[in-house]
Amino acid sequence: MRDPTAFLREEYEDLVKNELDWKLKILQGPSTPWCIVDGKKVLMFCSNNYLGLSNHPKLKEAAIKAVQTHGAGSGSVRPIAGNMDIHIELEKRLAKFKHAEASLVYQTGFAANAGLISQLASKGDLIISDELNHGSIIDGVRLSHAERAVYKHSNVQDLQRVLEETEKHQPPYMRILIITDGVFSMDGDIAPLDEIAELGAENGAMVYVDDAHGEGVLGESGRGIVSHFKLGRDKVHVEMGTFSKAFGVVGGHISGSKDLVNFAYNKSRTWLLSGSHPPAVAAACIAAIDVLENEPQHVQRLWENTRYFKQAMKDLGFDIGNSQTPITPVIVGESGVAKKLSTRLFEEGVFALPIVYPMVARDKARIRTIMNAALTQEDLDFAIGTFEKIGKEMHII
């Protein structure tokens, strides 16, 4: 009789054969500009820790204090006995920071998208999604029973075409939900949310933005893409985000109306049925908001570093795509080239991972670099010089 689990090894071995498997490296210590990875001291160039807050003394102090006052864990899901005062405080602080009526914290950003999108639309509804939206959005859409349509990446004219076609649908859709990433994680470009929101308003559609890579980066004091475009909550109905990137901790969240939050925590099973954050996590997230509100130099430094690195890479002749944010792809074409470039960078002291097919198109393999506010100009010059050396060695530039 055939082993019913044989497919596990077969599929994994197929991934290895085609060089599509993840080979995980080990970070031995905190996520800092210079860190120890697999026993080697390297410059961190691929972390989502945009502002360097994961090792900020105020966040660490808040986490330690919360363990002392509230313990190591909450002991339950929030609807039962795990709804601590520190969770409520975090949501109030987040809503104030976001200039929203209310906010709700999820265990992860993925849980927010998977748990909420699937409840916002159902049979008889339509979800319209950007073709390059994050996998967590795609899974949330799949979990719903709604019909779905996809528009060309950041193409407002194509979105309008889809919306015009929906008018012909019989019977008419009960709800229409437009979903987009705010900053697209592979290319670093920004969604035209102002135009998307306007089309949504004209067509009576809800607008949902995943701003995981925009928080701490865009807008006033890093408030995100809604702030960046100066949009009202009547135009963008769901602003989803995460504490695991610029905030330097972990967790997902949504901000919007009180009606949205009341609906979400009663309907989202990823929220209802998952244990709540340990007190240390919630406290560190609150401290991260404090830092963003009171230490603007981190966001300023992030953008100074971003501009410096982008210009230097352009001047060297690297293809960095159409990035508008600290996510800067170094596009080299073939997957094998990207993997070799990543290996050589690591050997020379720069930790930056390759992004290859199927995560990007076959001819768009790249090294995805992510800028950090904690990097010094000396650090940047080291990275730029290393890219130049290996780029010439491999005949990329």
Known catalytic residues are 185, 213, 245
Dihedrals phi, psi of 213, to nearest 5 degrees: -100, 5
Edge-to-edge strand list for the sheet holding 327-333: 327-333, 365-370, 354-355
Residue 228's CB: how many other CB atoms inside 10 A?
A: 20
Separation between Cα atoms, residue 3 and residue 280, nearest integer Å: 44
Residue type, 35: C
Could you tell me where the beta strands, DSSP code E, fall in 262-356?
327-333, 350-351, 354-355
How far CA 272 is from CA of 107, 115, 341, in Å, comes to 10, 9, 44
Dihedrals phi, psi of 110, to nearest 5 degrees: -60, -40
Residue 185 in contact with residue 134, Cβ under 8 Å?
A: yes
Separation between Cα atoms, residue 391 and residue 207, nearest integer Å: 42
How far CA 324 is from CA of 54, 85, 142, 215, in Å, comes to 24, 39, 30, 14
Cα–Cα nearest to 173, from 117, 120, 126, 121 = 126
Separation between Cα atoms, residue 77 and residue 277, nearest integer Å: 9
- Give the tokens for residue 235: 């135009």
Separation between Cα atoms, residue 123 and residue 335, nearest integer Å: 40
Q: Is the dihedral of CA 370, 371, 372, 376 positive or negative?
A: positive
